[in-house]
Amino acid sequence: MFGNIAQRLSGKNVLITGASTGIGYHTAKYFAEAAKGDIKLVLSARRKEKLEALQKELVSEYPSIKVHIESLDVSKVETIEPFLSGLPEEFATVDVLINNAGKALGLDPIGNVDTKDVEEMFQTNVLGLIQLTQLVVQQMKKRNKGDIVQLGSVAGRNPYPGGGIYCATKAALRSFTHVLREELINTKIRVIEVQPGNVATEEFSLTRFKGDAEKAKKVYEGTQPLYGTDIAELILFAVTRPENTVIAETLIFATNQASAYHIYRGSLDN
């Protein structure tokens, strides 16, 4: 029953944004492993040197795999169309789009949020995602098939003080994704939204606190959070379901979390 996963991924072209670290990095590795190297990966992120290291790692482990890497900052919306149209022919047709790139900046209350932070969060989490999704959907409609995975957040359901702008971007993503799913209901294109809770990734909190490692570390103190591998495994599961099913929306927490603002800090052992 479970041997079909490699077959379902065989020869597919998977585009992952924000693939250099965290969830995107682990998703690339999980897809490569599950497909036993019989897969094409388009990996994008702002820092190409990290993508080069990941490409080298994947090719070393799976000699038959095909990996294309490209520097892309999705907050620069005008660069997305040239990025997609400039992909080599072998990688030009996207079977699976994983919109993973995203960021949170600061925890300032509304009224004190830097305008540049507002713009950067909306450009990255909303405008860039929408632009890339629209372009890829055009491809998928012509073939009447494909999977679109959006990395949402519990923050899109449970807005919290200090996260007004970030939560708003994730709520916008959720609404956009809901409408996209409804508009594609007469096709074989599947729209999947994954909404993680507290995930300890290498750079998310460090970016939020603008390089303050001490503040970033305290976010996870006393908790047993999710990790990038947990989300990557869920994405892989969703994409490899039979074609007649779709994991439309899934909310995933660590065991000690119940909402965006209910996290138990302490041991779960008796």
Please indicate whether residue 29 is annotated as part of the active site. no
Q: What is the pLDDT along the chain (270 residues), one digit of tens a residue?
A: 446 899 999 999 999 999 999 999 999 999 999 999 999 999 999 999 999 999 999 999 999 999 999 999 999 999 999 999 999 999 999 999 999 999 999 999 999 999 999 999 999 999 999 999 999 999 999 999 999 999 999 999 999 999 999 999 999 999 999 999 999 999 999 999 999 999 998 677 777 878 777 877 777 888 889 999 999 999 999 999 999 999 999 999 999 999 988 889 888 886
Do 189 and 144 form a contact (C-beta atoms < 8 A)? Answer: yes
Residues belonging to the chain? 270
Amino acid at 201: T
Beta bridge partners of 263: 257
To the nearest 10°, the Cα dihedral for 93, 127, 19, 7? -40
Q: Which of 160, 166, 227, 261 is catalytic?
A: 166
CATH of the domain at 171: 3.40.50.720
φ and ψ at 87, to 5 degrees? -65, 145
Q: Per the domain annotation, does 208 fall within a domain?
A: yes
Q: How far apart are CA 230 and CA 143, in angstroms?
A: 31
Residues 132, 134, 135: CA angle, nearest 5 degrees: 65
Q: How far apart are CA 220 and CA 198, in angstroms?
A: 8
Q: Which of 12, 40, 103, 170 is catalytic?
A: 170
Q: How many domains does the structure of the chain reveal?
A: 1
H or E segment and range at residue 259: strand 257-259
Token couple for 218:
């305290």
Q: Per the domain annotation, does 264 fall within a domain?
A: no
Q: Per the domain annotation, does 104 fall within a domain?
A: yes
The pLDDT score that the predictor gives to residue 1 is 42
CA Rg value for the chain: 18
To the nearest 10°, the Cα dihedral for 40, 42, 48, 51? -40
Q: Per the domain annotation, does 182 fall within a domain?
A: yes
- Cβ atoms < 10 Å from Cβ of 145: 13
What is the DSSP-derived secondary structure letter of residue 22? Answer: H
Residue 195 Cα distances to 14, 202, 231, 244, angstroms: 20, 18, 9, 22
Q: How far apart are CA 105 and CA 120, in angstroms?
A: 8
String of b and e for 193-210 (b: at least 16 CB within 10 Å)?
Answer: bbbbbbbbbeebbbbbbe
Q: Per the domain annotation, does 263 fall within a domain?
A: no
* Three-state DSSP state, 97: strand
The pLDDT score that the predictor gives to residue 3 is 61
Q: Per the domain annotation, does 137 fall within a domain?
A: yes
Q: Per the domain annotation, does 259 fall within a domain?
A: no
Give the residue numbers spanning the domain of 197.
2-252
Residue 177 Cα distances to 97, 99, 181, 192, angstroms: 13, 11, 6, 8
φ and ψ at 57, to 5 degrees? -65, -45
Do 146 and 95 form a contact (C-beta atoms < 8 A)? Answer: yes
* Three-state DSSP state, 228: helix
Please indicate whether residue 261 is annotated as part of the active site. no
3-state helix vs strand vs coil in the chain, percent to 5: 45, 15, 40
The pLDDT score that the predictor gives to residue 270 is 66
* Three-state DSSP state, 64: coil
Q: Per the domain annotation, does 93 fall within a domain?
A: yes
